[in-house]
Amino acid sequence: MARARLTERLDRGDEAVLTLISAPAGFGKTTLVTEWLAVAAPGRSIAWLSLDERDNDPVVFWTYLVSALQTAVDRVGNGALAVLQEPHAAMDEVLATLVNELDAASGDVVLVLDDYHVIATREVHDRLAFLLERLPPNVHLVIATRADPALPLARLRARGQLVEVRAADLRFTADEAAAYLNEAMGLALPPEHVAALDARTEGWIAALQLAALSMQGRDDLAAFIAGFAGDDRYIVDYLVEEVLQRQPEVVRDFLLSTAVLSRLSGPLCDVVVGRDGGAAMLEDLDRANLFLVPLDDRRHWYRYHHLFADVLHARLLAEQPERVPVLHRRASEWWARDEEPGEAIRHALAGGDPERAAELVELAMPAARQNRQETTLRHWFKQLPEHVLRDRPVLRAGYAGAILVHGEVDGVEEHLRDAERWLEAVGSREPVGASADEAVVRVVRSQVAVYRAAQARLTGDLQGTVTHAERVLELAGDDEHLVRGSAAGLLGLAHWTSGDLDAAHRWWNESRAQLHRAGHHSDTLGVSIALADIDLARGRLRDARTTYEAGLTTAARHDPRVLRGVADMHVGLSELFLERNELEAAHEHLALSDHLGDGAGLPQNRHRSRIAMARLRAAEGDPDAAVSLLDEAERLYVGDMFPDVRPIPAVRARMWVAQHRVGEALGWARERGLSPDDALSYLREFEHATLARILLAQHEHSGDPTSLVQATGLLERLVEAAGAGRRRGSVIQLSVHLALARQAGGDVPAALASLDRALTLAAPEGHVRVFLDEGQAMASLLRTLETGGGTHAHVRRLLDADPAPDRGPLAQQHLIEPLSGRELEVLRLLGTDLDGPGIARELYLSLNTVRTHTRNVYAKLGVNSRRAAVRRAGELGLLPRRPQR
C-alpha cells in the first residue's frame, strides 16, 4: 500500500548520506523500504543485506556487505572482497578499496542494511562510521533497525546528512488504517470498527495485519475487535498461531517446512518441502501479505518476517521435531549442489549433522585454498566440534595449515600431533584397510610434513624447515604437485633466509613449476615475487624483469579473470624501471597496479606498492611524501614467510637521512640495537648497511671522525660478506656507500676503486638509481673517475642522467617559501579532474583541511585560481608527467 507522506521523505534521502528507519518490530520498516525502492529507484543499483546475529563477526559482516554490492553493481567489490579473504585483513584498507570501487561506479547506488539492530560489535559500528564519512556522492546508505545504531547520528544530523523515519512516522493514520483494512485486506469494515482497531493497535502495522488475517472469514467481527488488545505483545504469538492454524493444510505444511531457511527461493523450497510449486507458493504468500519480505527487486528471494519466522520455527520444533534434521539436510544438499559451501555447511551443523559438515569442508578445501580463501577456511574449521575433527586427519592437518597461513603457531602443535597419532595408528595395521584409504594416508603424511616445515620456518628453526621439507619430497608422489611445490618453496625460504641465494633461486624455480602444474596460478605469481626479489639481491635486473613479465603472460594465458598477483607483477616492474631511472615507465606500472585494485594483488602488495611509490617520490625529490607513504606502508604491512630483508623502518631511516633528519635516523638504529661491531648476517644486512649510511651522514653534518671510521669499517665488512655470498645487488650498493666513505676520509684512490667495482657489476644490468640517489657527492666522484681516464661507458650515462628530473626540490628553489609534502600532494591533484571533496577523499583529509592547503599553495605560487596554480606549477616543473588515471 503506497504511503506518499513516507516515500516523499525517503526521496529526500538523495541529498543525505544516511537514511535511518528506526522503530520496534512490526512497524513495516522493511516493507516501506521495499515499496519505496520499487517506485523511486529506477536506474539505480540496489544492494540489500538482511543481517542476523552471525554478522557480528566483522569479517563476516563486511564479506556479506561487499558481496551484496558485488552482485548489484558491476566491477564493485572484487578488490575489497579479495582483501577481506587475506590473513589479518586491514579493515581500513578494505574500506578504502571499497570506496574507490564505489566512486568509479556508474550511476547511483543504494545500499540497504536491514535489521541492523542485531549488530552489537563495536568494531563493526566504528568501521561503518568510517565508511559513512567517505562514501562517494553517488552512494546512499539506508539502515532499517529496531534501535538507533551506535553511529555518529548527531554529527550527521547537524550537517544535514541524515534523513530519519521513526515509529511515530510509521504508525498508520486513521485513513491509512482504513485503506489497509478495507482495500488491501478486503474486509469492508464499517468506520467504527476501523476506528476501534486503529485505537487499539495505535497504528502498529504488524498488529493490524495480524488482526486482519484473523478476521478473514469470521462472523463475529464486533466481538473479536472488542476483545483485541493490540498493545499486548503476547497477542502476537497468539494471532500468528491462529493465522497459521487457519491456513489450508498445504500452505501450513509449506510454512512449517521452510521455517528452517533464512532465505527462500522457489527451487530451494521445492527441495526442502519435497514437492514442486515453491515459486508459485511464495508469490501467493507475498500477495496474501503473509509475513513474507522480498530480498530483491525481482522477487526471486524472500525471507519471513522475523516474528513470524520465530513462531514458525517454534511450532515446527513442538509439532514435528523429527523433521528438523531432514529439512536441514535437504537444504544443505541443495546449497551444496548450488556451489554455496558456506550455506551447505551451516545447514548441516544446524541439522545436528557435524559429520556431513565435516565432509563438506573437506570437499570445499581444495577450491578454497586455490582461491586464497584462507579466512573462510579457518571460519569453517572453528565451527566443527572437537570430536569430529579428532577423527578426521585431513581436517586436522588442514586446520593446522589454516593457522600457519595467518603467520601464527598457537594451536598448530595440537592439530599436527593428532594427525600424527592417526598416522601412527594406521601404520600399526597391515594392510591399511578400508578405514584409512592409502591415498588419504599419503596426503595426510605429506601435509603434516609440509606444515611441520612451515611451523619450523615461523619459529626460526631453519634446519627443521629443511629436514621436514626434504621429508615431504621423499613421501610425495610425482603427481602430488601442490605438496611438492610447497616443500620446494619452504626449502627456498630456508636457503633465502640463510643468505644462500643461488640455492634459494633453484628451489623457488622448482616450486613455481610444481604449483603451475597443480593449477595454483595465484600462488605461482607469489613465487614469482620471491624469484624476482632474489634476482634483485643478486643484482640481476634483466632476470627479474623476465620473471615478472612471464608471470603476466602466465596469468593472461591460464585464467580469464584478473588473477590475484597480477597487480604485484606491475609493482615489481615499476621498481625495476625506477632502478633504471625510467621514471615514466615506473609510474605507468604503478598506475596499472592501482587501476587493477587490491583484488588483483596478493596480501603483501598493499605495502609493497606504497614502498615502490615512496622510492619513486624520493627519486622525484619529494622525501616528505616518501616518508608519508612509508608510514602508510608500515600500517598496511602483512607479514608472511618471506624473510623481511628490507624492513620498512630501515627504508624510512634512509629517507630521514635524505631529509637531513640524522637524529631520528640514529634513534631508529639505537632502538634496533644496531652497532658497527655487530656480527653480520644476511637477514640484517640491509639494516647494517643503513646504519653505515647514517654514520656517514652524521660525519657529514658534524665532522665527527669516529662516525666515519665506524661507517668505513662496517661497510668493508659488509662488502666482503655480500661478495662471499654472491649477492651482487648488495655488493653494488655497499660499494657505492664505501666509495663515498673513503672519499669523505680523503682516500680518493680507494674511493675510485670501490666505485669501479660497483660500476663493473652495475653496467651490464643497467643500475642507475643506486648511484643517482647519492646526489652531488657521487656526481663529483664520477666526474673524477671520468677525468682520470675511466673506461666505463656507464659513467657518462650516469652523469648525463638528471638525478631529480624537474620534479624535485631544485624546482622549488624559485619559490620564496617551498611547498610542504602535503601541499605538493594537493597541488598534484589540483592538476586532475577531481573536485574539492574528491581530493579530500583521495588524501583522507577533511574538506576544510584541503581548502587550507589549497590557499597555502595559491599564496606560495603567487596565484589566485586553480587553473593559474596548475599553469605555474607546470612552469616550475612541480607537476609530474604521469599517465592519466
Q: What are phi and psi of 418, to 5 degrees?
A: -65, -40
What is the per-residue pLDDT for 239?
Answer: 56
From the centroid of its chain, how far is CA 801?
39
Q: With contact defined as beta carbons under 8 Å apart, do 142 and 6 qualify? A: no
- Collapsed DSSP state (helix, strand, coil) of residue 815: coil
**Cβ neighbours of 12 (radius 10 Å):** 10
What is the per-residue pLDDT for 237?
Answer: 67
Inter-residue long-range contacts of 352-359, CB under 8 Å, 24+ positions, other chains counted:
352/324, 352/325, 352/328, 353/325, 353/328, 353/329, 354/384, 354/385, 354/388, 355/388, 356/329, 356/332, 357/383, 357/384, 357/388, 358/384, 358/388, 358/389, 358/392, 358/395
What is the per-residue pLDDT for 189?
Answer: 85
Residue 111 CA: distances (Å) to CA of 8, 45, 68, 135: 19, 8, 8, 11
Weakly modelled stretches of the chain, pLDDT under 70: 1-2, 40-42, 87-89, 200-203, 227-242, 288-289, 291, 297, 306-307, 371-372, 406, 427-436, 558-562, 789-792, 802-817, 821, 844-846, 877, 879-885
Residue with cell 551506535: 150
Cell (9 digits) for 737: 656507500
Cell (9 digits) for 286: 507475498
What is the per-residue pLDDT for 431?
Answer: 43
Residue with cell 564519512: 133
Q: With contact defined as beta carbons under 8 Å apart, do 198 and 174 qualify? A: yes
What is the per-residue pLDDT for 811?
Answer: 43
d(C-alpha 182, C-alpha 178), whole Å: 6
- Dihedral angle of Cα 876, 878, 881, 882, to the nearest 10 degrees: -160
DSSP string, 653-700: HHHHHHTT-HHHHHHHHHHTT--TTSPP-GGGHHHHHHHHHHHHHHHH
What is the per-residue pLDDT for 228?
Answer: 66
Helices (H), 620-647: 623-636
List pLDDT tens digits, range 566-615: 899 999 999 999 999 988 889 989 988 888 877 788 878 889 999 999 99
What is the per-residue pLDDT for 760?
Answer: 93
- Spell out the SS3 assignment of 572-584: HHHHHHHHCCCHH
d(C-alpha 863, C-alpha 201), whole Å: 67
What is the per-residue pLDDT for 202?
Answer: 65
Cell (9 digits) for 586: 615506473
List the domains of the chain with CATH numbers: 4-170 (3.40.50.300), 174-245 (no CATH), 249-321 (1.10.10.10), 643-800 (1.25.40.10), 809-876 (1.10.10.10)
Quick one: DSSP state of residue 263?
Answer: S
d(C-alpha 852, C-alpha 102), whole Å: 27
